[in-house]
Structure 1
């Protein structure tokens, strides 16, 4: 029997395109704080960070108390937007994502995981909206870890599955994902369809442009590591 492998996915910008809700919720949070909202590019550049960390980057002149209020305003707006049209429509899966997830999940030696800047509540709602409950055996969320690129999420995923770094990969669209993977000693696979430009993915060992490219790349990685 083949050794087990763990494939860990980022969520926003990797599995789902949630930028419309992210931008709208961030604009709301800054409006509540009576501050000019950051540009689209600035907001997308912090996707993947935990919200408390993201606010310190986007509003460095604000104090900690205001950052905390802005986080709550962001969450309120995001929840309202998601409730209005549903998670599946507000954060649609990228083309090919569902098919590849189902292909990998059907492989008896492959375990799937998530490492995301989303909260537990946010991830649960997203998985429910897309009918992906039970797909990911390990789910690491911002509630219980330092913000990416700290390797805590990946280390926890490895601990929960009993695997070693060479048996895992991390798939994500941001520099934070790839730096987290490198810090944890796992192979980072960057994706070209997300929120950070390809040139920001310097810590990635591989970069793919389509979800269909993932299964053959994983096979190549596992064969090389064997």
Structure 2
């Protein structure tokens, strides 16, 4: 069995608008100047505390900003204007992968367990993912703990595992865990950042990712020397 791990924000779902809006609301709650959209999206993938520390520094009211972000996110989620659509092709990709008898699917995300549970309910994904690793379960990316825990949970070796994500944190995490890092170009960070972080391959669509994953699953993987 091979393990295919997915990041969520920027990889499976297009959540950029709600993330930026929730960040702005959190900054406004403390009278702080909000970051640029580019800066807001550059930290997606980190745990919330780590993300706000990067944006404003450790002396800022990090715990307060995190709670204000969570409160704003929960409110904005009720507004159709802040929907979090799946990227084109994501649902079909998860569909055929979940029907393979030689593949297990997992999530490795900076979201909380509560945030992931909402997505599982919304998209009917409860039977799709065998392992789910969140910001509540491990240190923030790019620490490799999420991937290491996922592999241990399902019994997969590093050479049998692939990590798919849109951020440098995903690529660095994959490299640190010794698994294959695949970057997607449609996410929240520039392709150059993924390459610099060690992506083995960058795909430009889910059709292209499907082909890469079929090749990964259909051919024997060799342990690293």
Equivalence for 1:174: 167
Please state if 1:29 is matched with 2:26.
yes
Distance (whole Å) between structure 1 residues aligned to residue 131 and residue 177 of structure 2:
16
2:65 counterpart (67, 70, 74): 70
Distance (whole Å) between structure 2 residues aligned to residue 61 and residue 113 of structure 1: 32
User: In the TM superposition, what is the alpha-carbon distance from 1:61 to its structure 2 partner?
Assistant: 6.1
CA distance in 2, matches of 1:38, 1:102: 37
Aligned to 1:42: 39
Distance of 1:79 and 1:133 partners within structure 2: 21
TM superposition shift of 1:32 = 0.6
Residue 134 of structure 2: aligned partner:
141
Q: CA deviation at 1:85?
A: 3.3
Tell me the alpha carbon deviations over residues 83-135 of structure 1, each in whole angstroms, 9 at most, x when there is no partner: 3339xx71100000000100111111110000000000001001211222221
The separation in 1 between residues aligned to 2:137 and 2:166, in whole angstroms, is: 22
Give distance in 2, aligned partners of 1:128 and 1:213.
28
Gap regions ≥5 residues in structure 2: none
Structure 1: which 5+ runs fail to align? Answer: none
What do residues 128-149 of structure 1 show as CA deviations (whole Å, max 9, x unaligned)?
1122222100000001111000
Give matches, 1:57-206, under 5 Å.
57-60=54-57, 62-63=59-60, 66-85=61-80, 90-202=83-195, 203-206=198-201
Q: How many residues align?
A: 219
Q: CA RMSD in A?
A: 1.4
Q: Does 1:209 align with 2:204?
A: yes
Cα distance in structure 2, aligned partners of 1:147 and 1:126: 20
1:142 partner SS:
coil
Give the drift of 1:218: 1.9
What SS class does the counterpart of residue 71 from structure 2 fall into? helix
Structure 1 moving runs of 4+ over 3 Å:
none
Question: How far 1:224 sits from its partner (Å)?
Answer: 5.6
Q: If the length of structure 2 is used for normalisation, what is the TM-score?
A: 0.94
